[in-house]
Amino acid sequence: MKEVYKGQTETFEIYAEDAQGTTIDNGTAWLMVHDSTGSNVLGTQRGTFVTSGTYRRESDTSEWATGPVRYNWKVESSVGTSWDIKTNEIRIVGAGTESSTYVFEAELKNYFPGIIDYLDSSSNDHIIEAYEYQNRLLDNLGYSSPVPKDPSGRYDQSLKDFNAWEAIYRIVKPKQINQVQKEEDGKYWFDSFHDSAMKFYDDWDTKKITFKKNVAPSEAGIGPASRDLGSSVGTLVNNADEVYGSGFRGSDYKRTWYAKVVGTGTSGGISEGTVLWSKSGGLSWGTVTSSPDWVHLEDQVYIRFTRGTSTGTENILANGDRWTWETNPVRNQVGGNNIARGYGI
Protein backbone atom coordinates (compact mmCIF):
# COMPACT_ATOMS: atom_id res chain seq x y z
CA MET A 1 0.00 0.00 0.00
CA LYS A 2 1.43 3.35 -1.04
CA GLU A 3 1.76 6.16 1.53
CA VAL A 4 1.25 9.85 0.85
CA TYR A 5 0.98 12.78 3.24
CA LYS A 6 -1.85 15.15 4.04
CA GLY A 7 -1.33 18.58 2.54
CA GLN A 8 0.58 17.30 -0.48
CA THR A 9 -0.59 16.87 -4.05
CA GLU A 10 -1.08 13.25 -5.14
CA THR A 11 -0.98 12.21 -8.80
CA PHE A 12 -3.30 9.38 -9.86
CA GLU A 13 -2.46 7.72 -13.16
CA ILE A 14 -3.75 4.78 -15.18
CA TYR A 15 -2.78 2.96 -18.34
CA ALA A 16 -6.05 2.02 -20.06
CA GLU A 17 -6.53 -0.87 -22.49
CA ASP A 18 -9.66 -2.54 -23.82
CA ALA A 19 -10.38 -6.28 -23.60
CA GLN A 20 -8.29 -6.92 -26.71
CA GLY A 21 -5.26 -5.12 -25.26
CA THR A 22 -5.60 -2.04 -27.45
CA THR A 23 -4.75 1.22 -25.73
CA ILE A 24 -7.68 3.56 -25.15
CA ASP A 25 -6.56 6.92 -26.51
CA ASN A 26 -9.91 8.50 -27.28
CA GLY A 27 -11.85 7.69 -24.11
CA THR A 28 -12.93 9.82 -21.18
CA ALA A 29 -11.32 8.85 -17.86
CA TRP A 30 -13.11 9.55 -14.58
CA LEU A 31 -11.59 9.27 -11.11
CA MET A 32 -13.43 8.93 -7.79
CA VAL A 33 -11.79 8.85 -4.35
CA HIS A 34 -13.23 7.97 -0.91
CA ASP A 35 -11.26 8.48 2.29
CA SER A 36 -11.21 6.22 5.35
CA THR A 37 -14.40 7.79 6.74
CA GLY A 38 -16.28 6.93 3.54
CA SER A 39 -16.44 10.56 2.46
CA ASN A 40 -16.24 11.27 -1.24
CA VAL A 41 -13.18 13.53 -1.30
CA LEU A 42 -12.75 13.54 -5.07
CA GLY A 43 -16.00 12.89 -6.88
CA THR A 44 -16.01 11.85 -10.53
CA GLN A 45 -13.20 14.13 -11.69
CA ARG A 46 -12.09 13.95 -15.30
CA GLY A 47 -8.54 12.82 -15.91
CA THR A 48 -6.22 14.39 -18.45
CA PHE A 49 -5.04 12.28 -21.40
CA VAL A 50 -1.25 12.21 -21.42
CA THR A 51 -0.11 9.77 -24.09
CA SER A 52 -0.74 6.23 -25.38
CA GLY A 53 -3.50 5.10 -23.03
CA THR A 54 -2.23 7.09 -20.05
CA TYR A 55 -4.57 9.36 -18.12
CA ARG A 56 -3.67 11.46 -15.09
CA ARG A 57 -5.35 13.49 -12.37
CA GLU A 58 -3.80 15.48 -9.53
CA SER A 59 -5.51 16.23 -6.24
CA ASP A 60 -4.65 18.14 -3.07
CA THR A 61 -4.95 15.86 -0.02
CA SER A 62 -5.37 18.61 2.60
CA GLU A 63 -8.99 17.83 3.41
CA TRP A 64 -8.66 14.04 3.41
CA ALA A 65 -8.87 11.90 6.51
CA THR A 66 -5.98 9.67 7.46
CA GLY A 67 -6.03 5.93 6.87
CA PRO A 68 -6.61 3.86 3.73
CA VAL A 69 -8.09 5.76 0.81
CA ARG A 70 -9.80 3.91 -2.02
CA TYR A 71 -9.77 5.23 -5.52
CA ASN A 72 -11.40 3.99 -8.68
CA TRP A 73 -10.80 4.83 -12.32
CA LYS A 74 -13.49 4.35 -14.96
CA VAL A 75 -12.92 4.96 -18.65
CA GLU A 76 -15.75 5.50 -21.12
CA SER A 77 -15.36 5.18 -24.87
CA SER A 78 -16.61 7.74 -27.33
CA VAL A 79 -19.87 5.78 -27.67
CA GLY A 80 -20.44 5.51 -23.93
CA THR A 81 -19.16 1.98 -23.30
CA SER A 82 -17.51 1.78 -19.88
CA TRP A 83 -14.56 -0.24 -18.62
CA ASP A 84 -13.68 -0.44 -14.95
CA ILE A 85 -9.92 -0.12 -15.05
CA LYS A 86 -8.47 -0.10 -11.54
CA THR A 87 -9.36 -0.17 -7.87
CA ASN A 88 -6.57 0.25 -5.36
CA GLU A 89 -5.69 1.79 -2.02
CA ILE A 90 -3.29 4.41 -0.78
CA ARG A 91 -2.69 5.39 2.82
CA ILE A 92 -2.88 9.04 3.82
CA VAL A 93 -0.82 9.85 6.91
CA GLY A 94 -0.71 12.97 9.07
CA ALA A 95 0.92 16.13 7.80
CA GLY A 96 4.53 16.41 8.87
CA THR A 97 4.70 12.77 9.98
CA GLU A 98 7.42 10.92 8.14
CA SER A 99 7.16 7.21 7.47
CA SER A 100 8.70 5.01 10.17
CA THR A 101 11.03 3.15 7.79
CA TYR A 102 13.10 3.77 4.66
CA VAL A 103 11.45 0.88 2.81
CA PHE A 104 7.96 -0.64 2.77
CA GLU A 105 6.99 -4.30 3.09
CA ALA A 106 5.73 -4.44 -0.51
CA GLU A 107 9.21 -3.48 -1.77
CA LEU A 108 11.00 -6.45 -0.18
CA LYS A 109 10.08 -8.81 -3.01
CA ASN A 110 12.20 -6.65 -5.34
CA TYR A 111 15.23 -7.74 -3.31
CA PHE A 112 14.29 -11.36 -2.55
CA PRO A 113 11.25 -12.72 -4.43
CA GLY A 114 11.01 -15.66 -2.02
CA ILE A 115 10.22 -13.34 0.86
CA ILE A 116 6.51 -13.74 0.15
CA ASP A 117 6.73 -17.23 1.71
CA TYR A 118 7.90 -15.73 5.01
CA LEU A 119 5.73 -12.64 5.41
CA ASP A 120 3.21 -12.57 8.24
CA SER A 121 1.67 -10.12 10.72
CA SER A 122 5.05 -9.54 12.40
CA SER A 123 6.95 -8.68 9.22
CA ASN A 124 6.46 -4.93 9.51
CA ASP A 125 7.80 -5.07 13.07
CA HIS A 126 11.01 -6.59 11.72
CA ILE A 127 11.26 -3.83 9.10
CA ILE A 128 10.99 -1.25 11.88
CA GLU A 129 13.60 -3.12 13.97
CA ALA A 130 15.98 -3.08 11.00
CA TYR A 131 15.30 0.63 10.48
CA GLU A 132 16.03 1.45 14.14
CA TYR A 133 19.21 -0.67 14.08
CA GLN A 134 20.26 1.10 10.89
CA ASN A 135 19.76 4.52 12.47
CA ARG A 136 21.85 3.57 15.50
CA LEU A 137 24.69 2.66 13.16
CA LEU A 138 24.29 5.97 11.32
CA ASP A 139 24.32 7.86 14.63
CA ASN A 140 27.58 6.14 15.56
CA LEU A 141 29.10 7.35 12.29
CA GLY A 142 28.18 10.95 13.10
CA TYR A 143 25.06 11.30 10.99
CA SER A 144 21.85 12.69 12.41
CA SER A 145 19.16 10.08 11.88
CA PRO A 146 16.72 9.44 10.44
CA VAL A 147 18.45 10.75 7.33
CA PRO A 148 16.06 13.09 5.48
CA LYS A 149 14.88 12.68 1.92
CA ASP A 150 16.75 14.44 -0.85
CA PRO A 151 15.25 17.50 -2.64
CA SER A 152 13.40 15.18 -5.04
CA GLY A 153 11.53 13.62 -2.10
CA ARG A 154 13.38 10.30 -2.17
CA TYR A 155 15.59 8.47 0.27
CA ASP A 156 19.13 7.72 -0.83
CA GLN A 157 19.08 4.26 -2.38
CA SER A 158 21.63 2.91 0.09
CA LEU A 159 19.24 3.69 2.96
CA LYS A 160 16.46 1.70 1.30
CA ASP A 161 18.81 -1.17 0.40
CA PHE A 162 20.20 -1.56 3.94
CA ASN A 163 16.72 -1.42 5.47
CA ALA A 164 15.43 -4.02 3.00
CA TRP A 165 18.27 -6.55 3.31
CA GLU A 166 18.42 -6.32 7.12
CA ALA A 167 14.63 -6.64 7.35
CA ILE A 168 14.65 -9.73 5.10
CA TYR A 169 17.34 -11.26 7.32
CA ARG A 170 15.27 -10.63 10.46
CA ILE A 171 12.07 -11.97 8.85
CA VAL A 172 13.64 -15.17 7.50
CA LYS A 173 15.97 -16.05 10.39
CA PRO A 174 13.40 -17.10 13.03
CA LYS A 175 11.64 -19.34 10.52
CA GLN A 176 14.83 -21.02 9.29
CA ILE A 177 17.24 -21.10 12.24
CA ASN A 178 15.99 -24.49 13.47
CA GLN A 179 15.27 -25.91 10.03
CA VAL A 180 18.63 -25.77 8.24
CA GLN A 181 22.29 -26.54 8.88
CA LYS A 182 25.21 -24.16 8.67
CA GLU A 183 27.15 -24.15 5.44
CA GLU A 184 30.86 -24.90 5.03
CA ASP A 185 31.86 -21.36 5.91
CA GLY A 186 30.05 -21.64 9.25
CA LYS A 187 27.14 -19.43 8.24
CA TYR A 188 23.49 -20.05 7.52
CA TRP A 189 22.25 -19.33 4.00
CA PHE A 190 20.15 -16.41 5.20
CA ASP A 191 23.19 -14.71 6.77
CA SER A 192 23.95 -13.42 3.27
CA PHE A 193 21.05 -10.97 3.64
CA HIS A 194 22.67 -9.39 6.70
CA ASP A 195 26.03 -9.35 4.89
CA SER A 196 24.42 -7.50 1.98
CA ALA A 197 23.12 -4.86 4.38
CA MET A 198 26.49 -4.41 6.09
CA LYS A 199 28.20 -3.71 2.78
CA PHE A 200 26.34 -0.40 2.77
CA TYR A 201 27.44 0.28 6.34
CA ASP A 202 31.05 -0.22 5.22
CA ASP A 203 30.49 2.29 2.41
CA TRP A 204 29.07 4.81 4.88
CA ASP A 205 31.97 4.21 7.28
CA THR A 206 34.62 4.71 4.58
CA LYS A 207 32.73 7.73 3.17
CA LYS A 208 32.25 6.03 -0.18
CA ILE A 209 28.61 6.98 0.39
CA THR A 210 27.80 10.10 2.41
CA PHE A 211 24.73 12.20 3.16
CA LYS A 212 23.91 15.81 3.82
CA LYS A 213 23.94 16.22 7.59
CA ASN A 214 21.25 18.14 9.42
CA VAL A 215 22.40 21.66 10.24
CA ALA A 216 21.04 24.34 12.51
CA PRO A 217 19.42 27.40 10.89
CA SER A 218 22.44 29.53 11.79
CA GLU A 219 24.79 27.01 10.17
CA ALA A 220 22.62 26.82 7.08
CA GLY A 221 22.84 30.60 6.64
CA ILE A 222 19.05 31.00 6.39
CA GLY A 223 17.13 32.69 9.18
CA PRO A 224 13.55 31.69 10.04
CA ALA A 225 10.71 33.61 8.36
CA SER A 226 8.34 35.74 10.43
CA ARG A 227 5.20 37.62 9.44
CA ASP A 228 5.46 41.39 9.59
CA LEU A 229 2.26 42.34 7.75
CA GLY A 230 -1.24 40.81 7.48
CA SER A 231 -3.33 38.59 9.73
CA SER A 232 -4.66 35.75 7.56
CA VAL A 233 -4.71 32.21 8.97
CA GLY A 234 -2.25 30.85 6.41
CA THR A 235 1.47 31.07 6.99
CA LEU A 236 4.79 30.85 5.18
CA VAL A 237 7.77 28.77 6.24
CA ASN A 238 11.22 28.64 4.69
CA ASN A 239 13.88 25.95 4.82
CA ALA A 240 15.66 27.42 7.82
CA ASP A 241 13.85 25.08 10.18
CA GLU A 242 12.98 22.26 7.77
CA VAL A 243 15.68 20.23 6.07
CA TYR A 244 15.34 20.92 2.38
CA GLY A 245 17.68 22.02 -0.37
CA SER A 246 21.46 21.70 -0.27
CA GLY A 247 22.40 24.54 2.06
CA PHE A 248 22.43 28.29 1.45
CA ARG A 249 24.59 29.15 -1.56
CA GLY A 250 24.74 32.93 -1.28
CA SER A 251 28.32 34.20 -0.97
CA ASP A 252 28.21 38.00 -0.97
CA TYR A 253 26.78 39.63 2.19
CA LYS A 254 23.94 39.59 4.70
CA ARG A 255 20.58 40.12 2.99
CA THR A 256 17.00 40.85 4.01
CA TRP A 257 14.35 38.85 2.16
CA TYR A 258 10.63 39.53 1.72
CA ALA A 259 7.72 37.47 0.40
CA LYS A 260 4.35 39.17 0.06
CA VAL A 261 0.96 38.09 -1.28
CA VAL A 262 -0.35 40.39 -4.01
CA GLY A 263 -3.06 38.13 -5.47
CA THR A 264 -5.30 35.47 -3.97
CA GLY A 265 -6.90 33.81 -7.00
CA THR A 266 -10.55 32.87 -6.70
CA SER A 267 -10.69 31.61 -3.11
CA GLY A 268 -7.56 32.60 -1.24
CA GLY A 269 -6.23 29.04 -1.26
CA ILE A 270 -2.60 28.17 -0.64
CA SER A 271 -2.06 26.94 -4.20
CA GLU A 272 -3.24 29.98 -6.17
CA GLY A 273 -1.75 33.09 -4.60
CA THR A 274 0.58 35.44 -6.50
CA VAL A 275 3.64 36.06 -4.36
CA LEU A 276 6.34 38.67 -4.89
CA TRP A 277 9.72 37.99 -3.31
CA SER A 278 12.83 40.03 -2.84
CA LYS A 279 16.33 39.33 -1.57
CA SER A 280 17.30 43.01 -1.67
CA GLY A 281 15.08 44.37 1.06
CA GLY A 282 12.41 45.31 -1.47
CA LEU A 283 14.56 47.06 -4.10
CA SER A 284 13.77 44.42 -6.74
CA TRP A 285 11.21 41.63 -6.93
CA GLY A 286 10.56 38.22 -8.45
CA THR A 287 7.22 36.40 -8.76
CA VAL A 288 6.13 32.87 -7.79
CA THR A 289 2.83 31.10 -7.15
CA SER A 290 2.07 30.04 -3.57
CA SER A 291 2.14 26.31 -2.96
CA PRO A 292 2.05 23.76 -0.11
CA ASP A 293 5.15 22.26 -1.75
CA TRP A 294 8.60 23.81 -1.66
CA VAL A 295 9.20 26.64 -4.15
CA HIS A 296 12.80 27.61 -4.92
CA LEU A 297 13.54 31.33 -4.90
CA GLU A 298 17.32 31.60 -5.28
CA ASP A 299 20.58 30.34 -3.73
CA GLN A 300 18.82 27.26 -2.30
CA VAL A 301 16.31 29.39 -0.36
CA TYR A 302 12.91 27.66 -0.45
CA ILE A 303 9.48 28.70 0.80
CA ARG A 304 6.15 26.95 1.12
CA PHE A 305 2.73 27.83 2.55
CA THR A 306 0.70 25.99 5.16
CA ARG A 307 -2.94 26.17 6.10
CA GLY A 308 -2.18 27.46 9.59
CA THR A 309 -5.33 27.25 11.71
CA SER A 310 -7.66 26.90 8.72
CA THR A 311 -9.88 23.84 8.43
CA GLY A 312 -11.79 25.08 5.39
CA THR A 313 -10.85 25.70 1.80
CA GLU A 314 -11.15 29.47 1.40
CA ASN A 315 -9.46 32.68 2.53
CA ILE A 316 -6.27 31.04 3.78
CA LEU A 317 -4.13 33.85 2.33
CA ALA A 318 -4.94 37.52 1.90
CA ASN A 319 -3.52 40.40 -0.12
CA GLY A 320 -0.91 42.26 1.86
CA ASP A 321 0.38 39.28 3.85
CA ARG A 322 4.15 39.62 4.13
CA TRP A 323 6.97 37.64 5.72
CA THR A 324 10.62 38.55 6.13
CA TRP A 325 13.88 36.75 7.01
CA GLU A 326 17.63 37.21 6.68
CA THR A 327 20.42 35.21 5.09
CA ASN A 328 24.12 35.19 5.86
CA PRO A 329 26.91 33.61 3.80
CA VAL A 330 28.34 30.53 5.50
CA ARG A 331 32.07 30.43 6.17
CA ASN A 332 33.92 28.15 3.73
CA GLN A 333 30.60 27.49 2.09
CA VAL A 334 30.98 26.00 -1.38
CA GLY A 335 27.70 24.94 -2.94
CA GLY A 336 26.06 23.94 0.31
CA ASN A 337 26.86 22.12 3.55
CA ASN A 338 28.14 18.57 3.41
CA ILE A 339 26.88 17.93 -0.10
CA ALA A 340 27.04 14.22 -0.81
CA ARG A 341 26.55 11.92 -3.68
CA GLY A 342 23.93 9.21 -3.35
CA TYR A 343 24.30 5.54 -4.11
CA GLY A 344 22.81 3.97 -7.21
CA ILE A 345 20.67 6.89 -8.36
> In angstroms, rounded to a whole number, what is the distance separating the alpha carbons of residues 300 and 335?
9
Provide the pLDDT for residue 336.
Answer: 35
> In angstroms, rounded to a whole number, what is the distance separating the alpha carbons of residues 10 and 12?
7
Cβ proximity of 247 and 300 under 8 Å: yes
Judged on CB neighbours under 10 Å (0-12, 13-18, 19+), 239 is: buried
Stated length of the chain: 345
Query: Residue 268's closest CA among 306, 319, 305, 308?
Result: 319
Provide the pLDDT for residue 343.
Answer: 28
What's the per-residue H, E or C state across 130-176?
HHHHHHHHHHHCCCCCCCCCCCCCCCCHHHHHHHHHHHHHHHHHHHH
- Per-residue pLDDT band for 10 (boundaries 50, 70, 90) equals confident
Provide the pLDDT for residue 107.
Answer: 87
Provide the pLDDT for residue 171.
Answer: 96
H helix or E strand, kind and range, residue 326: strand 322-327
> In angstroms, rounded to a whole number, what is the distance separating the alpha carbons of residues 58 and 45?
10
Tens-place pLDDT, residues 163-216: 999 999 999 999 999 999 999 889 999 999 999 999 999 988 887 787 654 444
Query: Can you tell me the mean pLDDT for 315-342?
Result: 64
Spans of all domains in the chain: 2-93, 105-205, 217-327
Does the domain spanning 2-93 belong to CATH 2.60.40.10? yes
What letter represents residue 269's amino acid? G
Tens-place pLDDT, residues 289-299: 998 888 889 88
Tens-place pLDDT, residues 51-89: 888 888 888 787 777 777 778 888 887 767 776 666 666
Q: What is the CA radius of gyration of the chain?
A: 24
Residue 260, pLDDT above cutoff 60 = yes
Provide the pLDDT for residue 316.
Answer: 85
Residue 217, pLDDT above cutoff 50 = no
In the predicted model, what is the mean pLDDT of the chain? 80
| Paired strand residues for 258 | 278, 324
Tens-place pLDDT, residues 117-166: 999 988 988 999 999 999 999 988 878 788 887 665 678 889 999 999 99
Cβ proximity of 29 and 17 under 8 Å: no
Query: Residue 336's closest CA among 206, 221, 207?
Result: 221
Provide the pLDDT for residue 311.
Answer: 64
CA 179 to chain CA centroid, nearest Å: 41
For 38-42, 229-233, 321-325, which range has the lowest pLDDT when averaged over its residues? 38-42
pTM of the full structure: 0.41
> In angstroms, rounded to a whole number, what is the distance separating the alpha carbons of residues 328 and 226?
16
